[in-house]
């Protein structure tokens, strides 16, 4: 079964500092990969996705993520964090072979980001 690990439960960074949130997945083949962001009490917003092609993916709000097949990782990065980026971030994977019949995304448990002014 596929799984997603976000090793950091909580990260605190200063405003203006760079950010990297880690995501590792376990799956037999290259899956679809996603990053979502969730503000307190809100739904999830899709930041970016990777299906194939260029391993560096650009998303909304200045975020990017890099797929590294050799490390089974899909880390999220931002060069300069803004106070409004404080939220919880979720990595998710889905099987590339859509014939699996279920459309379930497998989510990590999330990383909470705090931003110090």
Interface residue list for another protein (CB under 8 A): 32, 34, 36, 41-46, 49, 90, 94, 98, 102-105, 107-110
- Between residues 34 and 67, which has the closer beta carbon with respect to another protein? 34
Least distance from C-beta 35 to another protein, angstroms? 12
Least distance from C-beta 55 to another protein, angstroms? 18
Least distance from C-beta 32 to another protein, angstroms? 5
Strands 3-5 and 87-94: unpaired
Q: How far apart are CA 21 and CA 27, in angstroms?
A: 20
H/E element holding 77?
A: strand 73-78
- Between residues 101 and 117, which has the closer beta carbon with respect to another protein? 101
Least distance from C-beta 93 to another protein, angstroms? 9
Q: Answer for the pair 32, 44: CB distance below 8 angstroms, yes or no.
A: no
- Between residues 39 and 55, which has the closer beta carbon with respect to another protein? 39
- Between residues 57 and 81, which has the closer beta carbon with respect to another protein? 57
Q: How far apart are CA 34 and CA 51, in angstroms?
A: 9
Q: How far is CA 25 from CA 2, 4, 12, 40, 71, in A?
A: 7, 4, 23, 25, 9
């Amino acid at each position: 079964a596929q799984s997603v690990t976000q090793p950091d439960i909580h990260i605190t960074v200063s405003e203006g500092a760079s950010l990297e949130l880690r995501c590792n997945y376990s799956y037999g083949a290259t899956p679809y990969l996603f990053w979502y962001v969730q503000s307190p009490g809100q739904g999830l917003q899709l930041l970016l996705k990777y299906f194939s092609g260029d391993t560096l993916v650009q998303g909304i709000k200045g975020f990017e993520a890099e797929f590294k097949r050799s490390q089974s990782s899909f880390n999220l990065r931002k060069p300069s964090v803004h106070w409004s980026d404080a939220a919880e971030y979720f990595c998710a994977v889905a099987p590339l072979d859509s014939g699996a019949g279920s459309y379930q995304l497998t989510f990590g448990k999330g990383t909470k980001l705090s931003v110090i002014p």
